[in-house]
Amino acid sequence: MDNTRAAFGEHVPSIDKMSRPHILVVDDSPDDVRSVVSAMNDQGWRISLAHDARQGFQRALLLQPDLILLDVQMPHMDGFTFCRLLRESDAARVTPVIFLTSAGSLDHRLEGLQMGGVDYILKPYEPLEVLARMRIHLQLQHRDTSELGEPVLATTSEDELLLRAVVRYISQNLRELPSLQEIARSVGTHDKRLSKLFREHMGVTVFAYIREVRLRKGQELLSDSNLSVQDISEWLGFGSACNFTTAFRNGVGMTPTQFRQQAKGS
Per-domain residue ranges of the chain? 3-148, 158-265
Nearby residues of 109 by Cβ (< 8 Å), 6 or more positions away: 120
**Residue 143's pLDDT is what?**
67
Q: Model-level pTM?
A: 0.69
**Residue 156's pLDDT is what?**
63
Measure the CA–CA gap between 24 and 47, rounded to whole angstroms.
6
CA 89 to chain centroid: 10
**Residue 201's pLDDT is what?**
86
The listed CATH number (3.40.50.2300, 3.10.580.10, 3.40.50.720, 3.40.710.10) that belongs to domain 3-148: 3.40.50.2300
**Residue 183's pLDDT is what?**
93
Give CA angle at 27 (187, 87), nearest 5°.
35
**Residue 193's pLDDT is what?**
92
**Residue 2's pLDDT is what?**
42
**Residue 92's pLDDT is what?**
83
**Residue 203's pLDDT is what?**
87
**Residue 145's pLDDT is what?**
55
Mean pLDDT by 10 residues, the chain (266 residues): 42 53 96 96 95 93 93 94 90 90 94 92 94 91 57 63 90 90 91 92 90 92 92 91 93 93 80
Class (C level, CATH) for 158-265: mainly alpha
